[in-house]
Amino acid sequence: MSEIPEINQHPDFPTVTDAIAWLEKIGYTYDFNLDNDCLSYEGGQKRLNPEEFTIDKVFRFEGITDPGDENVVYAISSESHGVKGILMNAFGVYSDPVSDKMIKKLATH
> What digits encode the pLDDT tens for the residues 2-19?
444 444 456 789 889 999
Mean pLDDT (the chain, rounded): 82
Q: Is the pLDDT of residue 44 over 50?
A: yes
Query: Is the confidence at residue 87, as pLDDT, over 50?
Result: yes
Dist. CA 57–CA 9, nearest whole Å:
9
Q: Which amino acid is at 28?
A: Y
Asked if residue 50 lies in contact with residue 102, where contact means CB atoms within 8 angstroms, the answer is yes
pTM assigned to the model: 0.79
CA distance 85 to 109: 16
Q: What is the dihedral of CA 40, 75, 69, 49, to 10 degrees?
A: 30
3-state secondary structure of 57: strand
